[in-house]
Amino acid sequence: MKTARAAPWLQFRILRVTLILPGLAIVCAVGTWTYAHRVLIPHQISDAGVRGTPRGNLSDLYPRWLGARELLLRGRDPYSAGVTREIQAGYYGRALDASRAGDPIDQQAFAYPLYVVFYLAPTVHLSFGMVQAAFFWILAGITAASIFLWLRFLGWTAAVPVQFAVVVLTLGSLPVLQALKLQQLTLVVAALGAAALALLVGGRPIAGGILLSLATIKPQLVLPLLLWLVWWSLGDLKRRYRWGAAFAVTTAVLGGASEWLLRHWMERFWHAAVAYRQYAQAIPMLEAMLPDPWGRVVEVGFAVMVGFICFKQLKAAEDAAVFQGLTCLVLSLSVLTVPKFALYNQVLLLPAVLLIARDWRTMWARNFISRSLLMVVTLLLVWPWFASVVLAGFSFILRQETVERYWALPLWTVPQIPVGVAALMLIHNYRRTFTAPAMAGSS
């Protein structure tokens, strides 16, 4: 009896998934990291030398770590001006001087909720060099793990080669690369959010509420998601209240323990956050891209549309595709409205990008607008990898100053990516809400 052979098109598809996709992912990731080390960072160093800008450890973890060390070991107020000057001495290499034209305006003060010190408490007896090196690999590990949590949340059982490619592409993306280089706690927030949502859809709302509370070390990133989940809970409060209760109790414990450590810390944090928005010129992305007041108008309009769609789907079950889509939409809104336009915040777009990869056939078949927007978003996402690989290759051929002249090439689509992803998510969820049954369980 002869064994039936797979059709040629099926053989090619299997080969593409098992070999071509992971191979392309590796090329893209290696190209991005090579571009960063051979083009972007050398350009930043040379530019800092020309401008007279100080460069120290440049680790976003350092202000939090030093603040935690000073509070836990010496009882000093991490929000104080004295601690801020010491932070600047390590972060920039010296304290900032307002009279120097080349000095940065970002004061790098301790502008986090005080309970972040509990996360860093095990490290305060170590040298920062050791903490910095270890934290890089911790962040890389939890970011890779968060991908599987997002897949769990989306209910997407992707093939192993696809999962491998997604992990490699994520770790080789510009937002994650920047976050790893800076040791940004945004990656911790994103991983905790992924775990909280995966637990919620997995029937463990109490654990999910606890982890979501732990993610509030960067409250501006969590707030839109928190508001959506609170609103969604009101759709079936009797069954959904447990995650909210767990969140409230955990937050109260964190706040109370922080008050025990430092009296009136909330007032100090509030003043630090207000000062941060001023010296860091922290404005949302749309307000930075569009002239006043149109950026704010677009933000409000987008938020209203998202709120209207969410209102129509408050009965959706946590394991339904409509709940997944709306959560990805809200996370996309977070990137658009967060008070600081930073590349590393785009890690919150990961679940939306995964959902697009999962549902692209549905989006493509829907209509011309959806199809066109899908093509635009794909090009926006692919461009940074493509440009990074090209520049990385030329860095081995051309002179350093020639390659550095084009250092910004991979960053061309950075501002447009969140807008495109959010718009595609909005259309995807709008169509699902108003052209399909409200409780549809699949795309």
Summarised one tens digit per residue, pLDDT across range 11-52 is 555 555 567 888 899 999 999 999 999 999 999 999 888 887
Confidence of residue 441 (pLDDT cuts 50, 70, 90): very low
Q: At how many degrees (to 10) do helices 350-366 and 368-394 cross?
A: 130
CA torsion sign for 150, 155, 157, 158 is negative
Answer whether 271's CB lies under 8 Å from 79's CB: yes
Name the token pair of 267: 């007032």
pLDDT at 289: 81
Name which of 179, 240, 189, 237 is nearest 211 in CA terms: 189
> Which residues touch 208 (CB under 8 Å, ≥6 apart)?
195, 196, 197, 198, 199, 200, 243, 246
Average pLDDT for 114-141: 95
Name which of 351, 308, 356, 360 is nearest 332 in CA terms: 351
What are the domain boundaries of the chain?
55-94+106-282, 283-443
Residue 432: Cβ within 10 Å count: 23
pLDDT at 2: 46
3-state secondary structure 254-293: HHHHHHHHCCCHHHHHHHHHHHHHHHCCCCCHHHHHCCCC
pLDDT at 1: 43
What single-letter DSSP state applies at residue 435? S
How many helices (H) and strands (E) are present in the chain, helices listed first? 21, 0
Confidence of residue 439 (pLDDT cuts 50, 70, 90): very low
Largest CA distance in the chain: 87
pLDDT at 9: 53
Mean pLDDT of the chain: 89
pLDDT at 442: 40
